[in-house]
Amino acid sequence: MKRRRSLNVISGPLLFAAVFVILDIFIPAKQAAAIASIFWMGLWWVLRPVNIAVTALLPIPLNAFFGMVPMDGIISKYFSEIVVLLVGSDLISLVWEKTRLDKRLAIKSLCGIGTSVREQIAVWLVASTVLSIFLPNVVVVMILLPVAVSMLKFLGQEQITHNPVATPILLAIVWGAGFGGFGSPLGSSSNLVAISYLEKLTGREFMYVDWIMRFLPLLLVIMLFILAFLLRLPVPVARLEGGKEYFRSVYAALGPMKRGEKLGLWLFILATALAFVRPLYVEYLPLMKPAYVFFTFGMLTFVLRNETGQLLLSWKEAEKGVMWGMIFLFSGGLALGKLITDTGAAAQIAKVITLLPLSGGWETMFSLTLFATFLTEISSNTAAASISIPVVQSITRQLGLNPIPYILTSIVAVNCAFILPVSTRAVGVTYGLSPDDLMRQGVRLSAFCLLLVSLLGYVCMQFWPLFWHL
């Protein structure tokens, strides 16, 4: 095991060196180093010899050594405006976790669940998808998976792994939480990466309400497609008696909502509402972007007190609970994107892809969606967005195409990863989901979703004006 880990560690720099030496023959050294950085980080994100957040810090030493871009441009990505948004929303989420408001909302949404296994699958998928629109997907699976496993065991399904009843329910949770993130800018850090590129491309602020208008219909179509896929999986029994009663009893045991829960809920509601109605006050508070709205409300968690007189959140709790790894991963993706775009490496990758017979039609949409899907399956959706969006932009520019529909479709694609036991799917494995079942069913679903997302993007590009411009 130790030897294997050592091999995985040195595999990254060895692959970097090999790619750099080969590419340095054909393109400038800085571009070769930037592309080689993709291979090193991508390999470490797959093999995980170190924590994925550590891998996300590689752009700093690599850029310091090779001098690819000005260092200020890299360092600034690790506390950008969007990182401020992540910290603010994370602080509010910590209050939900501390007060168990997250569990209350999850169980309440499941109280109406029926006894049919197929109805259970549908409810768990919808619950995980909807919650992941507003909460980080890892938080959603950490909320729902323990509840689902407890319910299954309460109903007599003691063996979770390779259980044909438990498997589709756990798949519904981890898949729903994974793809549901593109329903709102807050659902996934990859969405914030995308927004930063879109704002740079258009030169103006991309309002959150505009995001919802464009992506919510696509989310609904994909959710129904995944539901149909899950419902076709064979299950040995039609009903699980007692499910509805179980959730009602668990919810009743929570008692009435306390002051801390109510404050945590209102902080989130008000921050979200202000983010979405920004067009109404942007003229009067031009600097109060959603990042600073959430950060402001996040700071209130250190001031407001719960029903016992304690602070909603202490600094010690924030230090321990904030998802610093996710923030570094997000920042590292931005930094990698900076290396790729500013060195001209994205343009070089685009040149290679444009050697394909692309004309801007279905084949172009499919090729770019395949590129984004492949990246998100082998890394994280944040890293995939950081790499794919600038490449897609470069390709469309070289082909003389409007980049907007292709970028929007790529955003959907980087949120559709179903195969490897990483990210939210890794949490499912720790709760009993078999990696074999995940990968076997995930390969099939990924292939189907690749075709579906490509088709949706192409149809929207042809017939939906909101997909032509921002």
pLDDT at residue 423 in the model: 61
Q: How far apart are CA 412 and CA 300, in angstroms?
A: 33
For residue 323, what is the enclosing H or E element?
Answer: none
Quick one: tokens of 157? 């399904």
Distance between CA 14 and CA 43 in Å, rounded? 11
pLDDT at 420: 66
Q: Which pLDDT tens digit goes with each residue over 203-242?
A: 887 777 788 888 989 999 999 999 999 999 888 877 766 6
Query: By the 8 A CB rule, do 45 and 379 touch?
Result: yes
Residue 447 has φ and ψ, to the nearest 5°, of -65, -45
Q: Which residue is associated with the tokens 């590419």?
A: 23
What is this structure's pTM? 0.66
**What is the per-residue DSSP string for 296-311?**
HHHHHTTT-B-TTS-B
Residue 63: phi and psi, rounded to 5, are -70, -35
State the 10-residue block means of pLDDT for the chain, 470 residues long.
80 94 91 90 80 86 94 87 79 84 72 75 90 74 73 73 87 90 78 82 80 90 95 81 71 87 89 78 84 90 91 90 76 79 76 74 88 74 79 84 91 85 67 80 92 94 85
